[in-house]
A and B are shown apart, each in its own frame.
Chain A
Amino acid sequence: MSLAASAGRGPGALWSPTHVQVTVLQARGLQSKGPESTSDAYAVIQVGKEKYATSVSERSLGAPVWREEAFELPPLLASGAAPAAAATLQLTVLHRALLGLDKFLGRAEVDLRELHRDQGRRKTQWYRLRSKPGKQDKERGEIEVDIQFMRNSMTASMFDLSVKDKSRNPFGKLKDKIKGKSKDSASDTASAIVPSTMASADSDDEAPSKDKKKKSKIKTLFSKSNLQKTPLSQSMSVLPTSKPDKVLLRPGDLQSRWGDEDEDEPSSAADVTSHKRTASADPKQLSQINFSLPFLSGLRSKNDVLSRSNVCINGSHVYLEQPEARSETKDSSASSSPSPQGFRKKRLFSSTENLASRPWKEPGDGGGAAADRWFSESPAPDAGKAMTLPSYRPQVTGDAQEDRALASMEAARETQEGKKQESKKASLLSLVTGKKDAAKGGEGESKEKEGKLGPTGDAAAAASAQGHALNPFEDVQITEAEADPESQAGPKPPVPTPRALQTKAVKPRLHPVKPMNTTAPKSAHASLGTATIISENLINEAMMKKYSPSDPASAYAQLTHDELIQLVLKQKETISKKEFQVRELEDYIDNLLVRVMEETPNILRIPAQAQAGRRAGKM
């Protein structure tokens, strides 16, 4: 902490933020659009073209609590020439409508440049929600937002992970919406929103809302994950072994982890408080960032690790995840580099296996955020863990699954392993369940999500990375099997889908929250594709790879043999029916023609116009 603080101070005068982390804490006084004076509210965070959405706080009585952060929004505050739009934070609160367009609840706009000038690096404040421009303003309540300015130069890899998570998150959201947000939407959104640090914060937030039984655990986990520093501390406290593993893995990881731990420990209190990962974590992060980018990345990675470590809290889980990540990373070594990004990627790949099932779930559930966190965490841990214990990974994943929608997760994994259809279904279930799970318990959700994410990620990784694919699958399977017995939280870090990972690796930016804008769609597509791909991969990796999401064939690639046969039979029946109809029509027309030929044959004379119309190639 002290280091971070000093670092933050050091840069002070010259300090110019490159990113802004927005944490949507809660709202109050919202209009009710739903039944019984409730509303399923969620917030859209937008800076420039970057757009993130929180989870849906279901049936909130006008005062939803999200505590989800949009990580690494690039406001371009540094450049004075930046357009106002790029420096304006737009917070839109919407009611998720089951049918039709979501309903507008209110909007607040914050001039980030002005805020930065006046408030410094961090500001938590209530903003009044207003009507849309040009419409009569009325009482729409307020929204509390924590805005933290950050500087990221080195943490691209970390950010990348978060971004990947985000991408997944959007999908999850979509899935959630589709599936129905029976459970806490917040969890879903959280997952979607929370890439790494964000995810942790989200999970914390979600956990409270979702959690009932395992809230404390979940919270701790989340807090750990959420609060990069705090999570570390928690993870440290919870799982010292896991940390050592991480440390062992890589020097960079170790540093980051150690740093995280240190930070976490001090911040751990904050973590304990949970929800405020942004607050506690943010300052730390900021300071860390200021001090050294590597630290930041490390912190983030650590945080991720921490979140994973949370998984690790279970103990084996962490190890499992890490090892997988490591193995994956190793497999994907070509793409991945020793750098944190590389780790993340590797983790992602490894996680991708898990993710195969997870991706959907993550987006839907708050767990998604956790997954993201896991991912972010996993990268660092993965390196270390992978080094230490590949075998552990499976357990971790299994645990995670068990905790939450273990069944769904497992099923998803199994399906992946066994059949594409099954995998798809499982993934869908997992997604749904993941959402539900998220709603149920932050911990379980996070675990499940992680587990899910892991499988999906694995699958995706498998699909994307040839070499990786095989290993990831194996890992996933193992993890599933192990997970079932263990029942611990998903040690598997919710690795972003391979695609997501790749994208993250490519893009330095972090997208903790679900991106809704252009970037989000891309990521979403990628994630969707990965999700489908993952499931397919489970069934047939090769098959999956062959079909792109846009390819109409992809719709059938996931079907089982029996399903395809049924489909063919149905089609045949339809065709025979239509043939019969055609025959009847022909007969009818023939009879008409006979009458025409006998009574007014001139009607059948080829008309001049028709002749012209038919003219194709005069010779």
Chain B
Amino acid sequence: MGNGKEEDYNFVFKVVLIGESGVGKTNLLSRFTRNEFSHDSRTTIGVEFSTRTVLLGTAAVKAQIWDTAGLERYRAITSAYYRGAVGALLVFDLTKHQTYAVVERWLKELYDHAEATIVVMLVGNKSDLSQAREVPTEEARMFAENNGLLFLETSALDSTNVELAFETVLKEIFAKVSKQIQNSPRSNAIALGSAQAGQEPGPGQKRACCINL
């Protein structure tokens, strides 16, 4: 897997970051897409996304990762935010148990608005702060297994497992897409065709994949 050129990709996968405010969603995004980390503790306002293209085997996959504020209240953007997402990183702060306790609520919102086939990874962020850990690794892992979620502990600050987390999700998505493609040959052409419209965030490819899945 490696970085590919922006224009050379076969698939665009929309991935959303969700979780409580302050768990490090934005820093995970910036670490993955720009290899940056900000100690600035400002809360994210609004909605934005960033992209990075990775090679999965022979295919170039453009990850379009969306980030927004981890607000509790329902927002008008919620529906639009999840729409078309084929992957999600449900992030909690392993130094704050409260952010883990509300994971179920986030899962519910996710399944309420996203496709049922969405690939979800539970991410325990801030593993660099092991001294302040409040959420045992095994507890979170067990929860993830019981709910059909992927699981990793990451640190956006020291980059631990950040790439692995995103790539694992993308791989899982790609695997589902590939499976679907095998089932329907046309989807391949569709995917290729959609690649040209790379700039558009919500390409038919994803939907095709998801739908096929």
Nearest-neighbor residue (CB-CB) of B38 within chain A: A616
Q: In the complex the two chains form, is A586's CB within 8 Å of B75's CB?
A: yes
Q: Is the interface of B mostly helix, strand, loop or mixed?
A: loop
Tell me which residues across on chain B come within 8 A of A569, comparing CB atoms. none
Q: Is A98 an interface residue (CB 8 A)?
A: no
Residues of chain A with a CB closer than 8 A to B158's CB? 619
Number of cross-chain contacts by CB at 8 Å: 65
Interface stretch among A46-54, A129-137, A184-192, A587-595? Answer: A587-595
Given A602-B201, A614-B30 in contact, is the A597-B47 Cβ separation under 8 Å?
Answer: yes
Q: Nearest A residue to B66 by beta-carbon distance?
A: A604
Across the interface, name the chain B residue whose C-beta is closest to A596. Answer: B47
Q: Are A616 and B48 in contact (CB under 8 A)?
A: no
Chain B positions within 8 Å of A605 at CB level: 48-51
Interface residues of B in 33-62 (CB under 8 A from A): 33-40, 46-51
Contact indicator A611/B49 (Cβ below 8 Å): no
Using a Cβ–Cβ cut-off of 8 Å, how many residues does chain B contribute to the interface with A?
Answer: 28
Report how far A175 CA is from B109 CA in the complex, Å. 63
**Interchain CB contact under 8 A, A604 and B49:** yes
Segment of B76-84, B90-98, B111-119 in the binding face: B76-84
- Report B-chain residues with C-beta under 8 Å of the C-beta of A117: none
> A138 on the interface (CB 8 Å rule)?
no
| A562 contacts B by Cβ under 8 Å | no
With both chains docked as a complex, state the minimum distance between the C-beta of A211 and any C-beta of chain B, in angstroms. 67
Name the CB-closest residue of A to B26.
A614
Q: Which of A598, A604, A615 contacts B48 (CB 8 A)?
A: A604
Residues of chain A lying within 8 A (CB to CB) of residue B34: 611
Interface presence of A601 (CB below 8 A):
yes
Cα of A604 to Cα of B199 in the assembled complex, Å: 12
B201 near A601 with CB under 8 A, answer: yes
CB contact between B38 and one of A590, A594, A602, A614 (< 8 Å): that residue: A614
Contacts of B47 in A (CB 8 A): 593, 597, 604
Bound-state Cα–Cα, A606 to B51, Å: 9
**Which B residues from 175 to 206 make CB contacts under 8 A with A?**
199-202
Q: Is the CB of A591 within 8 A of B76?
A: yes
Name A541-558 residues within 8 Å CB distance of B: none
Of the candidates B37, B40, B51, B79, the one whose C-beta lies within 8 Å of that of A618 is B37
B159 at the binding interface (Cβ < 8 Å): yes
B157 within 8 A of A: yes
Across-interface contacts of B46 in A (CB, < 8 A): 589, 593, 604
- The reply on A80 being an interface residue by CB < 8 A is no
Residue of B nearest to A604 (CB): B48
| Contact of A593 with B159 at beta-carbon distance under 8 Å, contacts A601-B49, A601-B202, A616-B38 already known | no
**A617–B80 CB distance below 8 A:** no
**Chain A residue with Cβ nearest B81:** A597
Q: Is B38's CB under 8 angstroms from A615's CB?
A: yes
Q: Nearest chain-B residue to A597 (Cβ)?
A: B80
- Pick from A591, A593, A598, A618: contact of B36, CB under 8 Å: A618
Chain A residues at the B interface, C-beta cutoff of 8 Å: 586-587, 589-591, 593-594, 597-598, 601-602, 604-606, 611, 614-619
Q: List 28 A-B contacts (CB under 8 A).
A: A586-B75, A587-B76, A590-B75, A590-B76, A593-B77, A598-B80, A601-B200, A601-B201, A601-B202, A604-B47, A604-B48, A604-B49, A605-B50, A605-B51, A606-B49, A606-B50, A611-B36, A614-B38, A614-B40, A615-B36, A615-B38, A616-B37, A616-B38, A616-B40, A617-B37, A617-B39, A618-B35, A619-B158
Known contacts A605-B49, A615-B36; 19 additional CB pairs below 8 A are A586-B75, A587-B76, A590-B77, A591-B76, A593-B77, A594-B79, A601-B201, A601-B202, A602-B201, A604-B47, A604-B48, A604-B49, A605-B50, A605-B51, A606-B33, A606-B50, A614-B40, A617-B38, A619-B158
Instruction: Across the A-B interface, give the 5 residue pairs with the lowest CB-CB distance, nearest first.
Output: A590-B76, A616-B38, A601-B201, A597-B80, A594-B80
